[in-house]
């Protein structure tokens, strides 16, 4: 399935495929858009901003579908979550929303836990929609713009390393962000 997704990077309709994959992955599809985004930016580095924006926009809109699933039909969705092996991750995400609110969805853009689990959990936890969307834009946008920027500037020679370490890079970004907020709040 991974190779099938990557094969879309060479088609004329690649941007539509990227948007569709980004939308679907945020609520129900198992493959993240990062590999397709990486392949497309590698092939057309000058389009890195556009491709990151497409991925982010479609991911956030797909996240709203995941949110609606969690808010409206979590009872029907729970057997699917369990059979996919995400029950523990789902309960972790619900706890994160209870404890951290918008920070949970922002950070979810950089964790190895599938984003769709957080979108569904956000709806199930009755998180307010506007903060959910803002957290999704910042978290998912941060991830996809970082990936696109790195591919644009580092090129294909680092493609495998970026794919392998994207979650670690994202967590480092979150740590720097939290430290920056801490410094502004307590020092500034």
How far apart, in Å, are the Cα atoms of 71 and each of 48, 67, 169?
Answer: 34, 6, 31
User: Is 67 domain-assigned?
Assistant: yes
- Predicted local distance difference test score (pLDDT) of residue 2: 56
- In tens, the pLDDT along 75-117 reads 999 999 999 999 998 998 998 888 888 888 988 887 777 899 9
User: Is 2 domain-assigned?
Assistant: no
Could you give the number of structural domains in the chain?
A: 1
Sign of CA dihedral 34, 38, 40, 41: positive
Tell me the pTM: 0.81
Structural tokens at position 58: 């479609």
Distance CA 181, CA 183 (A): 5
User: Is 7 domain-assigned?
Assistant: no
Structural tokens at position 42: 């590698």
3-class SS letters over 126-172: CCCHHHHHHHHHHHHHHHHHHHHHHHHHHCHHHHHHHHHHHHHHHHH
User: Is 5 domain-assigned?
Assistant: no
- Predicted local distance difference test score (pLDDT) of residue 178: 67
């Amino acid at each position: 399935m991974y190779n099938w997704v990557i094969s879309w990077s060479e088609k004329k309709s690649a941007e539509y495929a990227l948007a569709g994959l980004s939308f679907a992955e945020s609520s129900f599809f198992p493959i993240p858009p990062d590999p397709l985004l990486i392949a497309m930016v590698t092939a057309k580095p000058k389009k890195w901003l556009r491709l990151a924006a497409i991925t982010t926009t479609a991911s956030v809109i797909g996240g709203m579908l995941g949110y609606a699933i969690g808010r409206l039909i979590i009872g029907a969705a729970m057997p699917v979550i369990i059979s996919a092996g995400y029950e523990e991750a789902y309960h972790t995400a619900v706890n994160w929303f209870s404890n951290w609110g918008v920070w949970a969805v922002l950070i979810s853009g950089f964790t190895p836990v599938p984003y769709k689990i957080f979108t569904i959990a956000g709806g199930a936890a009755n998180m307010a929609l506007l903060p959910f969307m803002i957290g999704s834009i910042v978290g998912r946008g941060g991830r996809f713009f970082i990936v696109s920027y790195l591919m644009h500037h580092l090129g294909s020679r680092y493609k495998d390393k970026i794919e392998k370490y994207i979650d670690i890079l994202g967590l480092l970004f979150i740590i720097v962000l939290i430290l920056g907020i801490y410094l502004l709040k307590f020092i500034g």
